[in-house]
Amino acid sequence: MSDAPDSPTPATIGPRELEGTIDLLGVIAYGAIKGFTSIAADAEMARDLDLKRALAGMAAKEFRGHELLVDHIGELGGTPTEAMEPFREAFDAYHDRTRPRDLLEGLVKAYIGDGIASDFYLETAQYVRPGTAAIIQQATADHRDVDVIVAAVRRGIEADSRRAGPLALWGRRLMGEALTQGQVVASRRETLGDLVLGRSHDRPGATIEEIGELMQRLTDQHQVRMRRLGLAP
Amino acid sequence: MSDAPDSPTPATIGPRELEGTIDLLGVIAYGAIKGFTSIAADAEMARDLDLKRALAGMAAKEFRGHELLVDHIGELGGTPTEAMEPFREAFDAYHDRTRPRDLLEGLVKAYIGDGIASDFYLETAQYVRPGTAAIIQQATADHRDVDVIVAAVRRGIEADSRRAGPLALWGRRLMGEALTQGQVVASRRETLGDLVLGRSHDRPGATIEEIGELMQRLTDQHQVRMRRLGLAP
């Protein structure tokens, strides 16, 4: 079916690789717009005006990332809303199950949840064509200005040390929920697995061993972030 | 006190006009960041993905407007968070008293509330120096892409005509609350009134008659918007 699948131009991507690529972009684009509303809700909760402004800025960057991804779906001939639709349930479930009860929980979620998602997207970017990989990197790397969040969480724990334990549990729960919903996403669309494993085209994909290493890197990065917040990983 | 108050460069604005100008920018900048979180919350409520994306885009534009205003406060030698602080209570009260109970109420609020505020800011822009007026126009005009909101409200009323009456009341209440809080803002800082009335510098300001005409234009525009939504004004 595929005509010259090694070419980086969309017109020559085989149909199965194209489908997987659009699916992947749909996942990340829907994740970004949910990230936007989630961080905007944190901005609403923030009393401190500098923190409110920083969070609103991060949300706006998430939206810019969403727009980049949506534009790229269009360039590849996909329909953005159709590309996002199959993944809404899993993302909505993640956000419904991890609704922050206050600003501190929201900040930990913005940092930990967004961090896991970004790491995962950057890892998968290795397995797509260069043009798409560049878009994913741009959309993801743009909102990693997280020092303000880290400082605000540390201040919150300093002000009330009893929060450290529950927030550490919260951070671990976020990781668990993200992994659960990640598996739901992967199982729903085998095109995504095929893309990463190299089954939809003739470039080499990830081996099972490499997938294991990827999961280990995600876990390691998560623990680095937890420690940076001053929380037991 | 003022040294060459006719010059458009900040360095030559008299201190009282400068104070009024920074106050006005503080009002609009805080209004914009509250507008951002309010419209982002509507985006979160929207199930329809095209509407969700349109609302998120409007919120992002509100934030861009906020950034423009904040940058200009800095250029004039002001501290953005200090400039916004005196007006938080009034804006927070407006938003607390008009918290939408569902998406339709949120959409009417985004259109009606944002419309009243934008009209008012554009009217006051006449009474400030050209550089500042241009920033206010840019920050305000940018997010007037409201066709999507109007269409969604009309669809909502078509789908359930019993909502038209309560939504019309809601629209009138928004206007009332906006006027109430507008008066709170004006009474809190006499620098703002002085700026509009031309008391802080030697350019002519608004006459009492012109203020009356301005209020009439705000009311007329509000009624145009209500009718556009299909609501009795």
Q: Which two tokens stand for residue A162?
A: 């009893």
Chain A interface, best mutation among B63, B73, B87, by max A CB count within 10 A? B63
* Rounded distance between C-alpha atoms, residue A23 and residue A189, angstroms: 8
Any idea which of A37-46, B43-52, B140-149, B159-168 has the lowest mean pLDDT?
B140-149
Q: Is pLDDT above 50 for B3? A: no
Region A151-161 average pLDDT = 96
For residue A133, the distance in angstroms to the closest alpha carbon of chain B comes to: 23
pLDDT tens, B175-215?
Answer: 999 999 988 888 878 888 888 888 888 888 888 888 889 88
Q: 0.95 exceeded by the pTM?
A: no
- Whether the CB of B41 is below 8 Å from some CB of chain A: the reply is yes
Of B36, B53, B80, the CB nearest to A33: B53
Mean pLDDT computed over every residue of chain B: 90
For residue B49, the distance in angstroms to the closest alpha carbon of chain A comes to: 6
Residue B2 lies in a domain: no
Contacts of B60 in chain A (CB under 8 A): 36, 59-60, 63-64
pLDDT tens, B45-99?
Answer: 999 999 999 999 999 999 999 999 999 999 999 999 999 999 999 999 999 999 9
Residue A10 lies in a domain: no
Query: In this complex, how many residue pairs, one in chain A and one in chain B, have their CB atoms less than 8 Å apart?
Result: 77
Q: How confident is the model at residue B143 (pLDDT cuts 50, 70, 90)?
A: low
- Whether the CB of A43 is below 8 Å from some CB of chain B: the reply is yes
Q: Is pLDDT above 70 for B10? A: no
A 190-229 near B (Cβ less than 8 A): none
Contacts of A210 (CB under 8 A, 6+ apart): none
Residue B10 lies in a domain: no
ipTM of the complex: 0.87
Percent of chain B having pLDDT more than 70?
A: 94
Q: What is the DSSP letter of B77?
A: T
Number of neighbours of residue A69 by Cβ within 10 angstroms: 30
pLDDT at B194: 87
Residue A5 lies in a domain: no
- Say how many CA atoms lie within 13 Å of A140 toward its Cβ: 23
CATH at B151: 1.20.1260.10
Residue B206 lies in a domain: yes
DSSP B33-55: HHHHHHHHHHHHH--SHHHHHHH
- Whether the CB of A136 is below 8 Å from some CB of chain B: the reply is no
C-alpha closest to that of A87 among A214, A187, A175: A187
pLDDT tens, A42-75?
Answer: 999 999 999 999 999 999 999 999 999 999 999 9
- Of all residues in chain B, the one with the smallest CA distance to A42 is B37
Structural contact between residues B114 and B143, judged by C-beta atoms closer than 8 angstroms = yes
Q: Is pLDDT above 60 for B120? A: yes
Percent of chain A having pLDDT more than 90?
A: 72
Number of neighbours of residue B186 by Cβ within 10 angstroms: 14
Percent of chain B having pLDDT more than 90?
A: 71
Structural domains counted in chain A: 1
Residue A2 lies in a domain: no
* Rounded distance between C-alpha atoms, residue A205 and residue A136, angstroms: 18
* Rounded distance between C-alpha atoms, residue A53 and residue B150, angstroms: 29
C-alpha closest to that of A93 among A197, A206, A184, A207: A184
Q: Is pLDDT above 60 for A5? A: no
Structural contact between residues A10 and A77, judged by C-beta atoms closer than 8 angstroms = yes
pLDDT at A168: 97
Q: Which domain holds residue B64?
A: 15-229
Number of neighbours of residue B79 by Cβ within 10 angstroms: 12
Residue A130 lies in a domain: yes
Backbone angles phi, psi at B5, to 5 degrees: -70, -10
Residues A84, B49: C-beta atoms closer than 8 Å: yes
Q: Is pLDDT above 80 for A106? A: yes
Q: Which two tokens stand for residue A46?
A: 């923030």
Q: Is pLDDT above 50 for A199? A: yes
Q: Which two tokens stand for residue A19?
A: 């489908």
Angle at CA of residue A182, ends A61 and A127, nearest 5°: 75
Q: Is pLDDT above 50 for A100? A: yes
Region A147-168 average pLDDT = 95
Region B5-26 average pLDDT = 78
* Rounded distance between C-alpha atoms, residue B90 and residue B184, angstroms: 7
Q: Is pLDDT above 90 for A18? A: yes
Q: Is pLDDT above 70 for B7? A: no
Residue B54 lies in a domain: yes
C-alpha closest to that of A36 among B48, B39, B102: B39
Q: How confident is the model at residue B44 (pLDDT cuts 50, 70, 90)?
A: very high
Give the end-to-end CA distance of chain A in Å, rounded to a whole number: 47
DSSP B109-147: HHHHHHHHHHHHHHHHGGGS-HHHHHHHHHHHHTT---H
